[in-house]
Structure 1
Amino acid sequence: MKLIVFLPYVIASVRSALIPDMDSDSGPSPLKIDFKIHRSNESSGENNDRFAFGKRNGYPVLIIDYADVIYYTDMNLGSDKQPGSVWIDTGSSIMWVPENNYDPSTSTTSYDTGNPFTIGYIDGTTYTGEYYLDTVEFGDSGPELSKFYFAKSSKSGSHGLLGLADLYDSSSRRDSNLIWSLHDQGLISKASYSLFLGPDHGSGSVIFGGVDTEKYTGDLVSYDLSTYQLDSRVPVESVSINGKVIPQLGEFVLDSGTSLGLVSQELLDELDVAFNSTIKNGNHYVDCDQPNDKFLEFDFGKNVIRVPFSNALARIGDTCYLGFTYNNGVQILGDAFLRNAYVYFDFSNKRVALAQALYSDSSNIISA
């Protein structure tokens, strides 16, 4: 897995497509989790040259992850509040934790369901274990669920993974999904959340059941999600590289669990030219000194998200890589894009809304 970051600008939009039902006075108040940021070059034990990290079985991805910035939140498991941490991932729908993060025998509220857990990654790594029901508390003062269905891996590690995608299908357990669990336990009025991935020197946040109107500029424009897909996909009509338009057909997955975006070979070739990439061993190396006044513009049909050249990178120490790559036609908007967007996911109405992210110390959280 991998994780996130972002930036601002004004966009044109269609008023009729704005997300409806924003009301700060109805139902439970929104719940906010601030997540922390880890830069990979701050850890001496990591291989910063080229991270090979596979993806969930939900769709076939490679992925080469440069893990320049990782976003995570702390949590407490069980009645005895066993501490742990999980990476934030909008591309999967369940939570799993490593073996050393959870001891069910010390929690009086733990229940071993006996259901096996298995998840595989493209690099061949497989995690197995069992599913448990127990109390889970997120963040320093975040939401607490009395019964949450999560997996304990048989492998030890430094972190787990918190999936924030919608349930794969109607037969999936709702108590295995954080968003639906919060809704069903009456903690939020709608199965929804918004994602703001703060700058790499600060912190980001997830707001369950609401949005922060001070963290984006322009309108938050809504798009319908495909009901037959397992993840959050949005149509991209075109991508402009400093004014040059490259038409794009098809949908892109919004995935905070992927550092690099996956694009068409045609678009990647144009990006390599624009960024003067040096390609070596599959890596697209670029100059770290990129301009703030040149942009990639992702046109979704009803609004546009702008990504400055300076923010379209993955950085490991003093080495920079292009924030996009190619893999067999798979199309994903990962961290290199999401660090510039404010995203609202509405599972109740099967919609996703996008706006240009705005770095601001101000906050105005309302229900949505």
Structure 2
Amino acid sequence: MADEGVIASRVYSLDLRHSDSTYGAVIYGGLDKSKFIGALEKRPIVRGSKGEYRLAVELTMVGVTATTSSSIMVSGRDSNVMLDSGTTMSRMHSAVAMPILQALGAQDDGEGYFRVPCSLQTAGGSIDFGFGRKTIRVPLKDFILSLDRSSATCYVGMVITTDQQILGDSVLRAGYFVFDWDNQEVHLAQAANCGSNDIVAVSSGKNAVPSATGNCKDSDAMFTGGSLATPTKANSLPTKAYTTVHTITSCPPFDPSCRLGAVTTQVIPAATGSGDSDSAGVRVSWLSGLLMMVGALTTVYNVL
């Protein structure tokens, strides 16, 4: 479209909306100011974890927010994440995933997925992902996935991988993303919905994407604070690392990448330890299992 002059440059914006929405939007050559909060944060596109060309950016922080906030800083190999709207389940390294799973009281099902009560979907709180100065807060209603309406068991929208990390739909739904291929940049903000479309066309050149500020307020973000349930099972996550090799005989409906009959090998690490010796490079200081930062949410995270 850019080559034919339909749009000014190779830019498109992505608005997946929340899990209970029936529609989203992709805008080629423009962005919609009525679909995000605050100023767009510009981040460079980086190569994948193996040096290949991918739509990847640097992740700087992950955390959990309820009545208090817990976070870990991310660096080294753990900071490289691909943004992929074609992937439902996010795939993260153990050093990044384990603190989140522990905070949610998740139970390892022995096949690489992690169970939680479906009541967490309405418990309030968020899983937070930091990109430079911007934090995208993912409501638990989007991060916790249901098998079906009749089941009391749900699954965390994240699995552990030793390969390329991927932020899939379980995370991307909470963000508004503008991809600028010509300048190798991603512009991002907290997604919201605050009325009629306010679409702005992008230009060309070095600053093709304008320094736009969204029309929406924090109250438009479909996020509610609240308390996470205290985990009741001490052995919800493995205390020793183990490897599973099995043939997939059934697939959860929320993971379209699952293939019946495939033989998979998964390495599930232990949930113990501070992570300071993790070869991936993350460094975590622990207080009751996580670095605790207690206080008002507006003083902890710069969402705007």
The bucket for the TM-score relative to the shorter chain is 0.5 to 0.7
The TM-score, its normalising length taken from structure 2, stands at 0.58
Cα displacement (A) at 1:292: 5.4
Q: Deviations over 1:99-150 (max 9, x none)?
A: xxxxxxxxxxxxxxxxxxxxxxxxxxxxxxxxxxxxxxxxxxxxxxxxxxxx
CA distance in 2, matches of 1:330, 1:367: 33
The Cα offsets for residues 37-90 of structure 1, whole Å up to 9 and x where unpaired, read as: xxxxxxxxxxxxxxxxxxxxxxxxxxxxxxxxxxxxxxxxxxxxxxxxxxxxxx
Cα pair 1:188 1:208 within 8 Å, conserved: yes
Is the contact made by 1:236 and 1:248 (CA closer than 8 Å) also made in structure 2? yes
Structure 1: gaps of 5 or more residues: 1-181
One-letter amino acid of the counterpart of residue 300, structure 1:
F
Cα contact 1:224–1:351 (8 A) shared by 2:
yes
Uncovered stretches (5+) of structure 2, i.e. residues with no partner: 203-304
Distance 2:190 2:52 in 1: 25
Amino acid at match of 2:145: A
- Could you tell me which residue of structure 1 aligns to residue 118 of structure 2? 288
Query: Residue 184 of structure 2 is aligned with which of 350, 362, 365?
Result: 350
Query: CA offset at residue 266 of structure 1?
Result: 2.4
Do residues 248 (structure 1) and 82 (structure 2) align? no
TM-score between both structures, scaled by the size of structure 1: 0.48
In the TM superposition, 1:212-291 aligns within 5 A as 212-226=32-46, 229-242=52-65, 243-249=69-75, 250-280=79-109, 281-290=111-120, 291=122
Per-residue deviation at 1:362? Answer: 2.1
Shift of 1:329: 4.3
Q: Distance in 2 between matches of 1:207 and 1:321?
A: 31
User: Aligned to 2:170, what secondary structure does the other structure show?
Assistant: helix
1:288-324 alpha-carbon deviations (Å, 9 max, x no partner): 2224532222111121111122221222213421011
Counterpart of 1:337 in 2: which secondary structure? Answer: helix
The CA RMSD measured in Å over matched residues stands at 1.7
Does the 8 Å CA contact 1:289/1:310 hold for their aligned counterparts? no
> Where is the strand percentage greater, Structure 1 or Structure 2?
1
> Partners in 2 of 1:357 and 1:326 — Cα distance?
26
- SS of equivalent residue, structure 2 residue 12: strand
In the TM superposition, 1:1-368 aligns within 5 A as: 182-199=1-18, 200-226=20-46, 229-242=52-65, 243-249=69-75, 250-280=79-109, 281-290=111-120, 291=122, 293-318=124-149, 319-368=153-202
1:212 counterpart letter in structure 2 = D
Return the offset for 1:273.
Answer: 1.7
Percent of matched pairs sharing the same residue: 31
Cα separation, partners in 2 of 1:324 and 1:307, compared to 1, 3 Å: same
SS in structure 2 of the partner of residue 272 of structure 1 = helix
**Superposition misfits of 4+ residues, deviation over 3 angstroms:** none
Deviations 1:218-247 (A, max 9, x none): 111111113664211111111112221222
Could you tell me whether the CA contact under 8 Å between 1:292 and 1:308 is conserved in 2? no
